[in-house]
């Protein structure tokens, strides 16, 4: 690394940043994971996805360890606490951290207890002076039933204004189309609870269209949007944010190379794009690294400025 590269990366780290798409489970720092699992021998390749997975499902396999680690109140608090410090070290001033509370109930916690525990971890980091402020996004899951996801919505409403700012839908997009969960988002809309939806990560432009029609304020990934120019216009017109996660998108085969990555295409269409890590540990990245990647690949003027400003503008809280 020459001195120019080093100072560029320092500059990006010191830049005040917001991160809107970051999963708690996929972003647990490795030392935290080791401590929570009592597995000092856990190696990076056990928790990091390969640079090129064959599909999203293979990427999602790496969540087994963190999900196993995050099944008690104390562990959930510790995980959120440690993630916040990792974000602070990365220059993240404001974060929206997301997770699926029902995936943390295998040892008997209730959905509300899971959320309360994560909030406790965030509050404890903040009371110690951690520089990152955070809100939570609760993820409903594509493979869960409407009844299960209704519990997530009700929990989000209970904690709205006291740490939870929105809901999301996550999971294997190729196996479970979005329209099956339309009722959930209609109910959220009735309650004026904002939402983002993982859509268009796996090539389905129909999922993106459906998310737009349902009233999503933001799209998670949104890569498939590039297939439909009219829909791109509509997303720009409505001011819908697109939460792009470059490293993760290449890993999950959402795109095959940077030449086909639609970041500049979206920006030129007037779409509010922001850049995120998705999963700091599973994708072995930081927000600083994602911005460095952007700067290297698309060195056009003002791109970093626009992306970082968009992230603050698109925040739910
Ligand atoms: Zn995601």
**How much distance in Å is there from the Cα of 4 to the middle of ligand 1?**
32
Catalytic residue among 48, 96, 116, 201: 201
Q: Is 201 a catalytic residue?
A: yes
The confidence score (pLDDT) of residue 9 equals 80
In a domain, 127, yes or no: yes
In a domain, 79, yes or no: yes
The confidence score (pLDDT) of residue 253 equals 87
In whole angstroms, what is the distance from residue 26 CA to residue 47 CA?
Answer: 9
The DSSP line for 50-114 is: PSS-SSHHHHHGGGHHHHHH--SHHHHHHHHHHHHHHHHHTTEEEEEEEE-GGGG-TTS--HHHH
Model confidence pLDDT, tens digit, residues 98-117: 999 999 999 999 999 999 99
In a domain, 205, yes or no: yes
In a domain, 232, yes or no: yes
Q: How many CB atoms lie within 10 A of CB 143?
A: 10
In a domain, 130, yes or no: yes
Q: Which residue has the higher pLDDT, 289 or 8?
A: 289
**How much distance in Å is there from the Cα of 61 to the middle of ligand 1?**
14
Q: How confident is the model at residue 254 (pLDDT cuts 50, 70, 90)?
A: confident
In whole angstroms, what is the distance from residue 179 CA to residue 210 CA?
Answer: 7
Lowest mean pLDDT, pick from 54-63, 253-262, 275-284: 54-63
The distance of Cα 11 from the centroid of its chain, to the nearest Å, equals 23
Mean pLDDT value of segment 211-239:
98
Range of the domain at 171: 15-314
In a domain, 227, yes or no: yes
In whole angstroms, what is the distance from residue 257 CA to residue 154 CA?
Answer: 40
The confidence score (pLDDT) of residue 2 equals 52
**How much distance in Å is there from the Cα of 261 to the middle of ligand 1?**
17
Mean pLDDT value of segment 61-73:
96
In a domain, 8, yes or no: no
Mean pLDDT value of segment 182-190:
98
Domains of the chain: total: 1
In a domain, 4, yes or no: no
Question: 256 has which bridge partners?
Answer: none
**How much distance in Å is there from the Cα of 219 to the middle of ligand 1?**
10
The confidence score (pLDDT) of residue 10 equals 83
Those residues whose beta carbon sits under 5 angstroms from the ion ligand 1 are: 278
**How much distance in Å is there from the Cα of 26 to the middle of ligand 1?**
9
In whole angstroms, what is the distance from residue 279 CA to residue 152 CA?
Answer: 21
CATH number where 101 lies: 3.20.20.140
**How much distance in Å is there from the Cα of 279 to the middle of ligand 1?**
7
């Amino acid at each position: 690394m020459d001195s120019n590269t080093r100072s560029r990366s320092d500059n990006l780290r010191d830049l005040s940043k917001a991160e809107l798409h970051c999963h708690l489970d996929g972003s647990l720092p490795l030392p935290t994971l080791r401590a929570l699992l009592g597995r000092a021998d856990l190696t990076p390749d056990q928790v990091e996805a390969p640079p090129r997975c064959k599909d999203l499902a293979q990427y999602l396999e790496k969540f087994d360890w963190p999900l196993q680690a995050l099944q008690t109140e104390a562990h959930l608090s510790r995980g959120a606490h440690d993630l916040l410090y990792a974000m602070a070290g990365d220059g993240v001033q404001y974060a929206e951290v997301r997770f699926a509370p029902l995936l943390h109930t295998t040892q008997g916690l209730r959905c509300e207890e899971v959320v309360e525990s994560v909030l406790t971890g965030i509050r404890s980091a903040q009371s110690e002076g951690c520089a990152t402020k955070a809100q939570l996004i609760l993820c409903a899951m594509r493979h869960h039933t409407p009844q299960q996801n209704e519990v997530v919505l009700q929990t989000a409403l209970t904690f709205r204004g006291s740490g939870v700012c929105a809901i999301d839908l996550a999971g294997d997009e190729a196996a479970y189309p979005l329209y099956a969960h339309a009722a959930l988002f209609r109910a959220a809309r009735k309650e004026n609870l904002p939402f983002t939806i993982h859509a268009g990560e796996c090539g389905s432009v129909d999922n993106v269209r459906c998310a737009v029609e349902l009233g999503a304020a933001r799209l998670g990934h949104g890569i498939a949007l590039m297939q439909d120019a009219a829909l791109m216009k509509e997303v720009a017109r409505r001011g819908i944010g697109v939460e792009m996660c470059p490293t993760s998108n290449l890993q999950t085969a959402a795109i095959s190379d940077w030449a086909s990555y639609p970041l500049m295409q979206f920006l030129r269409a007037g779409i509010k794009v922001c850049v995120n890590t998705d999963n700091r540990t599973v994708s072995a990245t930081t927000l600083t690294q994602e911005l460095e990647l952007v700067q290297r690949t698309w060195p056009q003027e003002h791109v970093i400025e626009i992306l970082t400003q968009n992230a603050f503008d698109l925040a739910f809280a």
